[in-house]
Structure 1
């Protein structure tokens, strides 16, 4: 078996098998420590243009495949490719699980890494993905709302699912609790006007009430004053985040999902409904 198909027919079959529909898992060219897979609607193989949804996994990392496959039908019928990055545990050799959630870990900028992945796959498939949607649940919800704060101009929608801790748009507190020092930390000022143009969904199960993993304590890696001020539970913290975004002029669709605990698969239909509505408005004449 060779990596380079030696006939046009072999190349066509390899592309259909590995690069369209549910794809293989690829290393990121910009940093091969990180990986991604996609769902690519078959029409892309016929030269059609589609939109992009970036779906960010939670702490277990296994949800990247749940999201690729869980959004596949949505992607096929709505002409949306799904990009699922993989950020391994302990990429710096220290066993740390949560670095990606806060955008920076050592010399790694996870927000910039995602932008490089998007540019890479856009070039591969001949697409214009200068703007895309983003969804994340749990740890991915951490990532998504912080990415929206740092790069609102890159998003046509953001869906934020059940983050354990939230960054409020508070100019009186430093990152990650607030945003006072984001320009010093990330080289980017907060663009309130751009964020206000992003349609935002925030959703959490009303039974998602476990606090053992989300309560910050002195001495913890991400402990800082105010770390628990947004609320005790995930629903409380998400409501506080929604109020913070709304005070900045963002239109937020806040959904408290009845009877649902910390279960990513039970919110995907609501995420798809939200994204379909945004797409309909975007594509209207």
Structure 2
């Protein structure tokens, strides 16, 4: 076999591997920033349709870490809306202590989960030759807590956010300490609340009307996240998301709330409404000349 034939075979092998492991339902990749964390993607095989750059949608898992299930649930949406889906995996007990909840607070010991995600976004953008300076973020349950807090720290990085059924909420309350409110956010994260940017961000919230169990979300003295006022947003997830919505609206942030009939605590049962919201925002971003996917 000639050198040219070898190069041709190598090129074919590389392209074939990319088609199998990178396009559509990807394999699981370790994060380049910190290989303790990983992610999978869905990228439509015919990306850049009609010269249009794909948008990025990040779907954050909850405590159950069902990240591939969420990836699969967004595959058709990605195909029909020219999007790439990124689903991170933040394993439970990353410090060897069995903690399932660290990622929900964005910080655990010296780990900044928001920074890990932002590097994954850059990594995926490089992989697919896309500019993902802005992306959409959806999280449900524990992922809803992550989405709630991430959008407070990094609203300028998002073109939309969907906060699903968080068990605990961080309100736009400058009189309450973090994590209940945003007082002390600058000291903890080095970032102050940017209310003006939040006002421009399309915000969606969603919860099942039958999501009424409280055993997992009631904070008790001695609990790892307990602080006075930890339960003041309400007893159930619908009550807490209603309080969260009011705090956003009181700060001038518009919120679209979906209360889903006959749904208890089931994120996959809420995916259609999230996708409808993102599709509407995408349509406006792509066809309104006054609004762009990235800052120029």
- How high is the TM-score relative to the length of structure 1? 0.96
2:76 aligns with: 73
> Equivalents in 1 of 2:272, 2:223: separation in Å?
35
> Equivalents in 1 of 2:135, 2:117: separation in Å?
11
8 Å Cα contact 2:139-2:164 kept in structure 1: yes
Count of equivalent residues:
280
2:60 aligns with: 56
8 Å Cα contact 2:29-2:38 kept in structure 1: yes
> Equivalents in 2 of 1:88, 1:48: separation in Å?
34
Which digits, 9 at most, give the CA deviation of each residue in 1:104-133, with x for residues without a partner?
Answer: 000000111100110111111110000000
CA RMSD, Structure 1 to Structure 2 (Å): 1.3
How do 1:1-285 residues align onto structure 2 when only pairs under 5 Å count? Answer: 7-44=10-47, 49-61=53-65, 63-284=66-287, 285=289
8 Å Cα contact 2:57-2:83 kept in structure 1: yes
Which digits, 9 at most, give the CA deviation of each residue in 1:127-176, with x for residues without a partner?
Answer: 00000000000000000010000100000000011000000111111110
> Equivalents in 1 of 2:20, 2:243: separation in Å?
45
The structural deviation recorded for 1:197 is 0.7
> Equivalents in 2 of 1:44, 1:17: separation in Å?
15
| Runs of 5+ unmatched residues, structure 1 | none
> Equivalents in 1 of 2:220, 2:159: separation in Å?
36
| Runs of 5+ unmatched residues, structure 2 | 1-7, 290-296
Which digits, 9 at most, give the CA deviation of each residue in 1:53-79, with x for residues without a partner?
Answer: 000000011x21111100000001100
> Equivalents in 1 of 2:28, 2:225: separation in Å?
31
8 Å Cα contact 2:48-2:54 kept in structure 1: no
* Helix, strand or coil at the partner of 1:7: helix
8 Å Cα contact 1:54-1:82 kept in structure 2: yes
Which one is further off, 44-53 or 193-202?
Answer: 44-53
2:5 aligns with: none
The structural deviation recorded for 1:44 is 3.0
* Helix, strand or coil at the partner of 1:32: coil
> Equivalents in 2 of 1:45, 1:93: separation in Å?
42
The structural deviation recorded for 1:43 is 2.1
8 Å Cα contact 2:209-2:262 kept in structure 1: yes
> Equivalents in 2 of 1:64, 1:274: separation in Å?
20
8 Å Cα contact 1:204-1:256 kept in structure 2: yes
* Helix, strand or coil at the partner of 1:267: helix
> Equivalents in 1 of 2:114, 2:178: separation in Å?
15
8 Å Cα contact 2:48-2:82 kept in structure 1: no
8 Å Cα contact 1:44-1:125 kept in structure 2: no
The structural deviation recorded for 1:232 is 0.3
> Equivalents in 2 of 1:52, 1:64: separation in Å?
16
